[in-house]
Amino acid sequence: MDLPVIDPPIFPRWVWIEEITYSHIIIATVINTLVLLAPIYEYIGMRRQDPRYDRLAKGFITFSLILFSPGAALGTGIPMWIMGTYPEF
């Protein structure tokens, strides 16, 4: 299949792929960290009978749910961007 190569007007293709990939990795790492820390803080709050830890755990989960959407969009965008900018591969 002979598709044209799409060159972005601002930066080279490899810069865009690098930024999309690294953004996805950072967001996925933050989500995994928050999901790991939430039960730990909830357990600490249960042991100390302190509702602040429960609120912190709930905030972690809420933030990770909000952050999941752009992370999934970037993760889906990685193969689409690679297929669109490097059709000769």
Phi-psi category of residue 24: left, alpha or beta, with phi > 0 → left and psi -120 to 50 → alpha = alpha
pLDDT for res 89: 60
Domain locations in the chain?
13-81
End-to-end CA distance of the chain: 11
Rg (CA), the chain: 19
20-57 pLDDT, tens digit each: 888 888 999 999 999 999 999 999 999 999 999 999 99
And the tokens for 43? 């357990």
pTM: 0.73
Beta carbons of 11 and 79 less than 8 angstroms apart: no
Beta carbons of 86 and 13 less than 8 angstroms apart: yes
